[in-house]
Structure 1
Amino acid sequence: MSGDMNEDVNNENKVIKPLTAEQVLALVPQQKPFRFIDEIISMDEEHIVGRYTYKQDESFYAGHFPGQPVTPGVILLETMAQTGVVAYGLYLLSLKLEASQLDQWLTLFSDAEVEFSRTVLPGETVTITAKKVFWRRMKLKAEVEMHNEQGELVTSCVISGMGVAKAQ
C-alpha cells in the first residue's frame, strides 16, 4: 500500500481511496431547491458533520406560517437524512466500491425516530452530526443530531436508509 492515510482496502484487496467531501456532495442526488447540505465539514468511518443555512426565500416558508415562518419538522428531518444517511452512506459505500460504481446506487430512506426540541427560523444555520450505529448489507443506521449556531440541540433522531441498485 502507498501509505496514504486516505486509502482503504476492500475485500478484493484493491486499494480504494475514499471520496472527499466535495466528491460526496457532487454525488448526492437531491438538488436545489431540495438540497439541504451546504457543506460537509468532516467525515470518516464513524461519523459525518454537515452544515446548512435555511435561506430566507425557501418556498416552504410562504405557507408555514405566513407572517411568522418556521422551518417545517419534515424539512429538518430531510436535512438530517441528506447528511446522515445519503451523504454518509455514499462515503461509506466509497470505502467498498470504486468511484465509477457509486452512481449505480440510490439511497432510500427507510425509518426514523425523531424528537424535536427547538424551532429553526429563516436565515438560521444548523450543524448536523451523524454517528454510525451500523452499516451492513447496504443498510445504514445512524444517530443524528442537529444543533443551531448557539450550540443548542434542535432535533435528534435515529434514522435508517438503504442502498438499492438503480434500474438499468
Structure 2
Amino acid sequence: MDFDKIIAKLPYTKPFLFVDSLSYIDSSGAAGSYCFQKNLEFYEGHFKHFPVTPGVILTECCAQIGLVCLGIFLLLETSEKDINNLAVAFSSSQMEFYLPVYPGETVFVSSEKLYFRFNKLKCKVKMYNAAKELVCKGELAGMIKDSSYEK
C-alpha cells in the first residue's frame, strides 16, 4: 500500500495534521510517527515557561494515525471506488497518559483494530517516545465513510 496516498486522503491540513509518516498498515492495524515541531502555536500557552504537548493533541495524533489512516485503508480495501470525500466523526476516547511530550519530540503511534462494522471503527492505540517509553495508551472510536456518493 502507498502510505503517501493514505496520508493525502486525510481530511486535515497543517496546522492540524499530526501525521508525518506511516510505517505499517494492514487490515488489523497501523503505525506511524509525528514530530511535534518547537514552533507549534499551542506551546506558547501550555504551560507558561515550561511548554508541553496537551493531552488532547496527543489523543488527536493517536486518532489520526491509528484510527483515521487505518479507516482509510479499510475503506480502500473494501470499496471498488476511490475515496474522494472522506467524512470522519470521532465518537469516543478513553486515554491514559504516562509521560509528557515536549516541543521537538517525535512520537510513534501504533493501533490494533478491535472492530470495523457499519462504518464504525474502534481501535486500541499506543504512543511511544523516541526512547521507546510508553507515553499514552487507550481506545478510540469513530465513524468513517466516503460521502462522495451520497445525495
Alignment TM-score, normalising by the size of structure 1: 0.85
Match of 1:84 among 66, 71, 81: 66
3-state DSSP class of the match of 1:28? coil
How much does 1:89 deviate?
0.4
Question: Counterpart of 1:95?
Answer: 77
Larger displacement relative to structure 2 (90-99 or 77-86) = 90-99
RMSD: 1.3
Q: C-alpha distance in 2, partners of 1:20/1:94?
A: 11
Write the mapping of 1:70-149 to structure 2, written as runs, cut at 5 A: 70-100=52-82, 102-149=83-130
Count of aligned residue pairs for this structure pair: 149
Letter in 1 for 2:97: F
Q: C-alpha distance in 1, partners of 2:57/2:85?
A: 26
Instruction: Spell out, residue by residue over 1:46-96, the C-alpha distance to the aligned partner (whole angstroms, 9 max, x if none).
Output: 110010000000010000012210000000000001111111100111111
Q: C-alpha distance in 1, partners of 2:143/2:96?
A: 22
Q: C-alpha distance in 1, partners of 2:58/2:85?
A: 27
Q: C-alpha distance in 2, partners of 1:93/1:125?
A: 28
Q: C-alpha distance in 2, partners of 1:109/1:125?
A: 24
Question: Counterpart of 2:40?
Answer: 58
Letter in 1 for 2:41: S
3-state DSSP class of the match of 1:95? helix
3-state DSSP class of the match of 1:49? strand
Q: C-alpha distance in 1, partners of 2:29/2:76?
A: 14
How much does 1:99 deviate?
4.4
Q: C-alpha distance in 2, partners of 1:55/1:99?
A: 36
Q: For the Cα contact (< 8 Å) 2:126–2:138, is it kept in 1? A: yes
Question: Counterpart of 2:15?
Answer: 33
Specify every segment of 5 or more residues in structure 1 that has no aligned partner in the other structure, as ranges: 1-18
Q: C-alpha distance in 2, partners of 1:54/1:84?
A: 17
1:160 aligns with 2:141: yes
Question: What stretches of structure 1 move > 2 A for 4+ residues in a row?
Answer: 164-168
Identity across aligned pairs (percent)? 37
Q: C-alpha distance in 2, partners of 1:25/1:61?
A: 25
3-state DSSP class of the match of 1:103? coil
How much does 1:105 deviate?
3.2
